[in-house]
Structure 1
């Protein structure tokens, strides 16, 4: 599927967005999985939590988050004084939806004293019920920091298993997963290796365990980009959402990148368009807010992670 737009349309919309951005004192954030043209008009492109942290440090009054709902919530948690806008309100995350606060509270009643490690790909309400948050880049470090046997990892079972394997430590796993990364199969990797025998296989830890076993390197989106930049290798088979290829080609123009499967496309991440970004800046909506009592508790879980 082609998500690109014509250069003429891009220039026209980018000009409108730049003018509106100045008028609104806004900052535009885009996740690595967004459409190329959306990444190109953003002030910051990166991983979800890193973007929220960058935005919190600016004097912008409005944050336009080109990502999915939980990411905009994270921005609202860290920047309660700013207006947070999600250009496509229906851009959700199926993995984040696999755990809810009510279900988590029930689990905690069933296993008293359990410590909950919450991947940032989750709702603010779920973060508020958790002990500590983690990202895909620091999950191992976060789990390592906890004492005791009863540790529940939510919502991504694959990332939890990756951390448990590295630490050789038993964890309890919530049955959640990323539908996009789950589409990648060992057959896809085998076919890609046959076609590109000199390429290194780099994958995200949201991939299944059998996929991670096939990889030369496993890392967060930012980690994959850094690895490709620092590697002497010239070819890479990429096992994560297709949007990352845009950034990889920008920072490594002399290297070749092959998507491990054409199915590695997240429809939620691709639902944000430049037209929606422009319209969101005009209307200052759709807005994403977090109730104060939930925000405070969710921020505590994030702060415990950041303290590490």
Structure 2
């Protein structure tokens, strides 16, 4: 079941009274419910969330950090402030007595939606006719539970931007080539860093059901799914050229979901965790342009007034789907738990979860 089906299935309309409440009143209610539920409640918050949500998070982090946190918590209720695939991962890694809630069911991920299970199964069948039993599937955690299960069932694994290098290296000890879903840019940048030339990478187009590659297919080592992050693709070569011209001593650091051209022209590239830690360690007075989600960039700016920090793209907007979750939706979710009428529960079917956990456990073992 995809995110659109879930939205149709659930009552996702925020009751009007939450829009009529003051911020002060909502915050007071959130604090009161957190105190009441105590250790029975755990709120993980992704770095890209709004400040009004992050201030109530019990743990903040990137996808890998939050997957680890979800797998280790004993709380009865996990109110996941992130997007749908993250809440699915939490449900997979927790036990059947733990309840995972997504405050707003519309909080999806456009990248995850670029690879559905039907497209993937069809692609695998066609690619096997070309490459035989020489491929191992890897999927970025920014994917549906069904895609994770697909990879787990075939001996593959999930990856995050934090451990992509380790996981791709591991994959090549298992098979001759990999199929990397659903973000072509993370796959391309990771493989390139590990010494695989661009000439040995092909792209699978799920819309046309074709392999985009000129040359002998036997030379292909990496098959990249034609998907992308709508946020990180908005950082451009032109952004970098303009910055080099106007502020030549500015350090440029970007996320590996950016295009190969942008990563190549930047000074550094790495996961969300890597970006945060690099800025933390940087000397006072240093200058940084960051190519990642705007909520996080603004938070980093606030946390480091001793440094000059800007977004690599001055016209950048926050991740629209991450921003679906706000203080009113968070309070709605918490009050539903308090009232015993839980809304927006995320559950992954048992057979899907069983295979998905194989893929996730391989990733967590290499964390």
Deviation at 1:246, TM superposition (A): 4.1
Q: Greater CA radius of gyration, 1 or 2?
A: 2
Deviation at 1:160, TM superposition (A): 0.5
Q: Paired residue for 1:61?
A: 76
Q: Paired residue for 2:30?
A: 17
In 2, the alpha carbon distance for the partners of 1:265 and 1:181 equals 11
Deviation at 1:243, TM superposition (A): 1.3
Match runs of 1:198-213 below 5 Å: 198-213=249-264
Instruction: Give CA deviations for 1:193-215 in whole Å, capped at 9, x if unaligned.
Output: 44433221010000001110111
Check conservation: 1:160, 1:173, Cα contact below 8 A: yes
In 2, the alpha carbon distance for the partners of 1:246 and 1:48 equals 19
Deviation at 1:129, TM superposition (A): 0.3
Q: Paired residue for 2:204?
A: none
1:84 and 2:124 correspond? no
In 2, the alpha carbon distance for the partners of 1:40 and 1:190 equals 36
Q: Paired residue for 2:217?
A: none
Structure 1's 12 and 190: CA in aligned 2 closer, same or farther, altered over 3 A? farther
Check conservation: 2:255, 2:291, Cα contact below 8 A: yes
Q: Paired residue for 2:226?
A: 175
TM-score normalized by the length of structure 1? 0.92
In 2, the alpha carbon distance for the partners of 1:132 and 1:67 equals 21
1:239 and 2:264 correspond? no
In 1, the alpha carbon distance for the partners of 2:270 and 2:350 equals 33
Q: Paired residue for 1:96?
A: 112
Check conservation: 2:148, 2:356, Cα contact below 8 A: yes
In 2, the alpha carbon distance for the partners of 1:14 and 1:54 equals 24
Q: Runs (4+) of structure 1 moved beyond 6 Å?
A: none
Deviation at 1:9, TM superposition (A): 4.6
Check conservation: 1:184, 1:264, Cα contact below 8 A: no
TM-score normalized by the length of structure 2? 0.78
Check conservation: 2:244, 2:250, Cα contact below 8 A: yes
Check conservation: 1:49, 1:71, Cα contact below 8 A: no
RMSD: 1.8
The equivalent position to 2:53 in structure 1, one of 38, 43, 46, is 38
Q: Paired residue for 2:357?
A: 299
The equivalent position to 1:189 in structure 2, one of 202, 223, 240, is 240
Q: Paired residue for 2:123?
A: 107
In 1, the alpha carbon distance for the partners of 2:269 and 2:241 equals 17
Deviation at 1:274, TM superposition (A): 0.3
* Alignment coverage as a number of residue pairs: 301
Deviation at 1:252, TM superposition (A): 2.9
Task: Structure 2: state its 5+ residue gaps.
Answer: 1-20, 197-220, 337-341
In 2, the alpha carbon distance for the partners of 1:13 and 1:234 equals 38
Greater mean alpha carbon deviation, residues 160-169 or residues 142-151:
142-151
Q: Paired residue for 2:169?
A: 144
Structure 1's 9 and 238: CA in aligned 2 closer, same or farther, altered over 3 A? farther
Secondary structure of residue in 2 paired with 1:117: strand
